[in-house]
């Protein structure tokens, strides 16, 4: 049992398990839960990584089962020998997880790979399982087999499925998931951790950002997100090629082994003649500060975004946001009132929306003001923790 400052015995309630400790949106969600939720909530990563390092110094360090990294790295097209080895490894990992989770009353799998391991572990422990679903399961990048396997395991083993948006929830049902198990719990944020830029916040942040990255007085748009084709950084580059007076900060790293894509994007910026107007920062731990320093936050995903943390964060920074229509984004932004929505994958529409905001500061400011007020109220971390606690209470209710 972990001690608490009062010396009282701390009841371990829920262990949230992710297969990776990279700093993706789903892992940031998990970290926020254990930092802001009740003391009985803990984190577990089935691989070592930066998210584990961040929690290391906190009151609630994560459990790390580093062996998961090798076991769970199988990809589509792996040999039968490799798959057989992985299956054996998953059983061992599940046994390790069951041991590590001893004392917790419920295990919450925070990713698809974690679901398979946690489903076995909770059988061994005779504890309930909750699956937190961060993906739109009907998306083409999930193979039919992965989708079927996840839905079957969820239907058979999970007491509840928590989806990060209504769209994610609907896709789970469309893929064969049981609607009766579903709850929607949004990502939540602490507005105090998101400084506000622009005229309604701290206008010096724009100057500081320009100095740090060598930008001039022209407008700066920021795109925040891991470097992977569906996050649409290439669409922003194509849009910039048609708007000569706009500079861009592209923030994010190739989190899940897509270094080639990063090189490709940098080459594309060069080929489009954008080298003097675009900066690539790699992964940054200070996204809220950077957001407060840009003039416009752009979200350019080419596929439906399951939720879209960066969209809420951009609005919390008091910046006007242009985002692609669809997925969870449509639940966050009301087009024309709290932001501008554009067609995914259309650089001309994106360029037009950016120019609209650059040339109409009154519109930009009114969208930013309405957007911040709206998301600060709807996406508070306190609400997220309360909603998640409600689901867990329900799961643990006797009978």
Q: Where does this chain bind ligand UDP (CB under 6 A)?
A: 23-26, 28, 224-226, 251-252, 283-284, 287, 307-310, 313
Least distance from ligand GLC to the Cβ atom of residue 20, Å: 11
Q: Is 32 in the site for ligand GLC (CB under 6 A)?
A: no
Number of Cβ within 10 Å of residue 257's Cβ equals: 11
Q: Secondary structure of 346-359 in the HEC alphabet?
A: CHHHHHHHHHHHHH
Among 24-32, 175-183, 252-260, 346-354, which window interacts with ligand GLC (CB under 6 A)?
24-32
- In DSSP terms, 248 is beta-bridged to 221, 278
* Contact between residue 311 and residue 164 where contact means Cβ atoms under 8 Å apart: no
Strand 41-45 versus strand 14-18 pairing type: parallel
* Sign of the four-CA dihedral 298, 335, 383, 175: negative
The binder of 164, among ligand UDP, ligand GLC, none, by C-beta within 5 to 8 A per type, is ligand GLC
Give 165 or 247: the residue with its C-beta nearer to ligand UDP.
165
Nearer to ligand GLC, 110 or 247 (CB): 110
Taking the complex as a whole, the smallest distance from the CB of residue 23 to ligand GLC amounts, in Å, to 11
Q: Which of 219, 187, 218, 243 is nearest to 320 (CA)?
A: 219
* Residue 108, beta-bridge partner list: 16, 130
Positions in 284-343 near ligand GLC (CB under 6 A): 305-309, 328
Of 98 and 227, CB closest to ligand UDP: 227
Write down the least CB distance from residue 309 to ligand UDP, Å. 3
Nearest approach, Cβ of 329 to ligand GLC (angstroms)? 9
Q: Which two tokens stand for residue 365?
A: 């400011």
Are residues 108 and 138 in contact, defined by beta-carbon separation less than 8 angstroms? Answer: no
Shortest-Cβ-distance residue relative to ligand UDP: 25
Task: Give the bridge partners for 335, in sequence order.
Answer: 339
In the β-sheet with 63-64, what is the strand arrangement from edge to edge? 63-64, 41-45, 14-18, 106-109, 129-133, 158-163, 182-184
Which of 238, 251 has the CB closer to ligand UDP? 251
Size of the site for ligand GLC (CB under 6 A): 13
| x-marked contacts with ligand GLC along 86-105 as a string, rule CB under 6 A | --------------------
**Rule CB under 6 A: is residue 26 a binding residue for ligand GLC?**
yes
Sheet holding 278-282, edge to edge: 278-282, 246-251, 219-224, 296-298, 321-324, 340-342
Least gap, CB of 230 to ligand GLC (angstroms): 9
102 binds, among ligand UDP, ligand GLC, none (CB under 5 to 8 A by kind): none
- Least distance in angstroms from the C-beta of 173 to ligand UDP: 21
379 forms part of the interface with ligand GLC (CB under 6 A): no
Partner from ligand UDP, ligand GLC, none binding residue 47, C-beta < 5-8 Å depending on class: none
* Binds ligand GLC by CB under 6 A, chosen from 13, 187, 302, 324: 187
Q: Does 25 bind ligand GLC (CB under 6 A)?
A: yes
- Residues 6 or more apart whose CB falls under 8 angstroms from that of 105 comprise 11, 12, 13, 14, 127, 128, 396
Name the binder of 269 from ligand GLC, ligand UDP, none, CB < 5-8 A by kind: none
In angstroms, what CA-CA distances link 22 with 7, 39, 52, 231, 318? 33, 23, 8, 17, 27
Select 134 or 319, whichever has its Cβ closest to ligand GLC.
134
Q: Which residues bind ligand GLC (CB under 6 A)?
A: 24-26, 29, 134, 164, 187, 305-309, 328
């Amino acid at each position: 049992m972990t001690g608490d400052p009062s010396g009282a015995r701390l009841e371990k309630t829920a262990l949230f398990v992710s297969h990776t400790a990279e700093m993706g949106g789903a892992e940031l969600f998990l970290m926020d839960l254990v930092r802001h939720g009740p003391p009985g909530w803990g984190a577990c990563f089935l691989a070592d990584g930066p998210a584990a390092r961040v929690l290391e110094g906190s009151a609630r360090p994560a459990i790390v089962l580093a062996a998961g990294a090798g076991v769970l790295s199988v990809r589509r097209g792996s040999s039968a020998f490799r798959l057989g080895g992985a299956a054996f490894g998953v059983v061992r990992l599940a046994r390790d997880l069951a041991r590590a989770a001893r004392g917790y009353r419920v295990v919450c799998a925070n990713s698809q790979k974690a679901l398979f391991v946690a489903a076995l572990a909770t059988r061994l422990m005779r504890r309930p399982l909750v699956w937190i679903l961060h993906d739109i399961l009907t998306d083409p990048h999930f193979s039919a087999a992965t989708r079927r396997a996840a839905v079957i395991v969820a239907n058979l083993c999970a007491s509840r499925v928590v989806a990060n948006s209504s769209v994610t929830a609907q896709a789970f049902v469309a893929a064969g998931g049981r609607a009766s198990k579903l709850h929607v719990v949004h990502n939540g944020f602490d507005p105090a951790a998101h400084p506000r830029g622009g005229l309604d916040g701290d206008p010096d942040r724009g100057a500081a950002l320009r100095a740090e990255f060598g930008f001039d007085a022209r407008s700066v748009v920021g795109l925040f997100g891991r470097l992977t084709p569906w996050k649409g950084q290439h669409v922003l580059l194509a849009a910039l090629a048609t708007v000569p007076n706009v500079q861009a900060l592209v923030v994010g790293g190739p989190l899940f082994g897509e270094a080639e894509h990063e090189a490709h994007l940098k080459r594309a910026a060069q080929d489009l003649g954008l080298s003097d107007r675009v900066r690539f920062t790699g992964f940054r731990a200070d996204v809220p500060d950077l957001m407060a320093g840009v003039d416009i936050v752009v979200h350019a995903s080419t596929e439906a975004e399951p939720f879209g943390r960066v969209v809420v964060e951009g609005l919390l920074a008091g910046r006007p946001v242009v985002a692609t229509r669809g997925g969870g984004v449509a639940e966050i932004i009301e087009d024309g009132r709290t932001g501008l929505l554009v067609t995914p994958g259309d650089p001309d529409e994106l360029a037009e929306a950016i120019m609209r905001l650059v040339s109409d500061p009154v519109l930009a400011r009114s969208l930013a003001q309405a957007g911040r007020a709206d998301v600060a109220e709807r996406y508070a971390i306190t609400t997220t923790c309360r909603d998640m606690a409600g689901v867990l209470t329900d799961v643990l209710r006797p009978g």
